[in-house]
Amino acid sequence: MSTATPSPLLDPEFLTKLEQLELISRKIFVGRMKGERRSKRRGSSVEFADHRNYSVGDDLRHIDWNVYGRLDKLFLKLFLEEEDLHFYTLVDTSLSMDFGDPTKLHYAKQVAAALSFIGLVNHDRIVIDSFSSTLEPGLSSVRGRSQMWRVVQYLDQLQAHGGSDLTAAARSFAIKHPGKGIVVVISDFMDKRGYEDALRYLIARNMDIYAVQVLSREEVEPELTGDLRLVDCEDDDEAEITVSAPLLKRYKETLDAYVGGFREWCTRRGVSHIFTTNHAPFDKLILNYLRERGLVK
């Protein structure tokens, strides 16, 4: 566990870079409030899209009277409806996230802060929730750049605690947020109960899901020697091992297989899987990696 003072979540220079970005979704979402984002759904905005014949019950305010003057026919002006995007971030705060230097949790917070900043700059609705064994009360929907301090304040107060139950948290999350949107789950996904059920709850909501898997370097390249009794920090489960070259080789193969299996599972279900370690440069993850994956542009 790390005891070092964590670096600030975001630095000003990085923030200026983030201002150029916006969150995008691969799916059409209907915002609850009109936002700045052009929706593919035609609605009532100032940007003209098309005409259609008037039918009874249509809002008379949308009749194009100029056309009626020329053609003596009632046409309804259709506008591209502007919508706001709901951007959910679900951060794992279980004890296992408190490993590494910087800790995985700190790394997760940085990712959450950066993505939230991008969303706030673009007047998206930002929701941040955290979970360990259950879903914790999170930051309710905020909008606008001015709310960034609330985001940072919320993330700063997050502490690692308890075990993790991703499935329970995802179920609660899906019930709590019935609307659609982009959801980014930042976790190590090392839940012994599996990740499948949890992600299925989210997929069922037709959400645009990004699974950001953060592991510490100690997990990827373990530097263990000798005869050890490994204690799981979350459930005190023990495993006695004698570290040997074959075991280390096998561990890496198991890790590769697990991450590979997770990625394949996600790909088949339209979930974007992003693997990173706490030592991977954080800004590159946002500016390059997520951009390639289509989360930001």
Partner 1 sequence: MLLLAQANPLGGLNLQFDPPVPWSSAWGPTFWSILVGVPVTIILLYFLKLRRKPVQVPSTFLWKRSMEDLHVNSLFQRLRRNLLLFLQLMAVFFVLLALLGPQMKGSTRVGQRYVIAIDTSASMSATDLEPNRLDEAKTRALDLVDSMGSQDLAMVIAFSDTARVISTYTGNKGQLRDRIASIAPSRTGTSLREALEVAAGLANPSKQFGEGEIASEVQPPRLMVYTDGGFPDVEGFSLGNLIPEIVVLGQPPAQGQSLPSSNDGETTDPAVPPSNNVAVLALQTARNEERPDQIQLFGRVRNYRDEPVETVARLLRHELDEPIGEGRLIDAIEVSLPARGSRSFKFDLPDPGPVGLEVRLDLQDDLEQDNHAYAAIGRPRQARVLVVTAGNRYLLNALTTATAGDAAEVVEIRPEDLETDDIQRALLAGLYDLIVFDRVAPSDPPVGNTLYLGAMPPGEAFEQARPVEAPIVLDWDISHPMLQYVRDLPLVLIREARVVEPPPGSTTLIESDKGPIAFITPREGYSDAVVGFSIYGEERALNTDWHTKLSFPVFLYNTLRFLGNVEEGLGDQVQQPGQPVVLRAAPTVDEITIDPPREPSSDVRRSDLGTFVFNGADEPGLYRVSWESGDAIEQSVFAVNLFDARESNLAPRGIPPEGVTGREAEPYLIKIGYTEVAGTRTSQPARLDRWWWLALGALGFVLVEWYIYNRRVYI
C-alpha 259/C-alpha 184 separation (Å) is 17
Closer of 71 and 224 to partner 1 (Cβ): 224
231 near partner 1, rule: CB under 8 A: yes
**Cα 51 to the center of its chain, rounded Å:** 38
Q: Which is nearer to partner 1, 15 or 233 (CB)?
A: 233
Taking residues 180 to 209 in sequence order and writing x for each that binds partner 1 by CB under 8 A, - otherwise, the string is --------x-x-x-----------------
State in angstroms the smallest separation of the CB of 196 from partner 1: 15
Q: Could you say whether residue 223 binds partner 1 (CB under 8 A)?
A: no
Nearest to 195 by CA among 182, 206, 209: 209
Nearer Cβ to partner 1 (232/283): 232
Stretch that binds partner 1, among 3-11, 15-23, 31-39, 253-261 (CB under 8 A): 253-261
CA distances from 55 to 43, 63, 68, 74, 77 (A): 16, 10, 14, 9, 12
Residues 6+ apart with CB under 8 A from 102: 2, 4, 6, 7, 278
Which amino acid does the sequence have at 76? L
Sequence letter at residue 54: Y
| Dist CA 211 CA 166 (whole Å) | 12
Least distance from partner 1 to the Cβ atom of residue 270, Å: 26
Beta partners for 129?
A: 90
Interatomic CA distance for residues 28 and 180, integer angstroms: 9
C-alpha 26/C-alpha 233 separation (Å) is 38
Element (H, E) at 199: helix 196-204
CB of 161 to partner 1, least distance (A): 14
96 makes contact with partner 1 (CB under 8 A): yes
- Please report which helix (H) or strand (E) contains residue 241, including its range: strand 238-242
Q: Work out how close the CB of 88 gets to partner 1 at its nearest, in angstroms, rounded to a whole number.
A: 25
Q: Which is nearer to partner 1, 252 or 269 (CB)?
A: 252
| 100 burial type by CB count under 10 A (0-12 exposed, 13-18 middle, 19+ buried) | buried
Among 57, 204, 226, 268, binds partner 1 (CB under 8 A): 226
Which parts of 258-287 interact with partner 1 (CB under 8 A)?
A: 258
Binding segment (CB under 8 A) for partner 1, from list 27-35, 121-129, 233-241, 266-274: 233-241
Q: Which stretch binds partner 1 (CB under 8 A): 20-28, 136-144, 226-234, 278-286?
A: 226-234
Among 228, 264, 288, 294, binds partner 1 (CB under 8 A): 228
Tokens linked to 221: 């390249």
**Shortest distance, CB of residue 92 to partner 1, whole angstroms?**
11
**SS3 (DSSP) at 61:** helix
Q: Does 225 bind partner 1 (CB under 8 A)?
A: yes
Is 239 a binding residue for partner 1 by CB under 8 A? The answer is yes
Q: Which residues bind partner 1 (CB under 8 A)?
A: 1, 96-97, 99, 104, 188, 190, 192, 216, 218-219, 224-234, 237-241, 243-248, 250-251, 253-255, 258
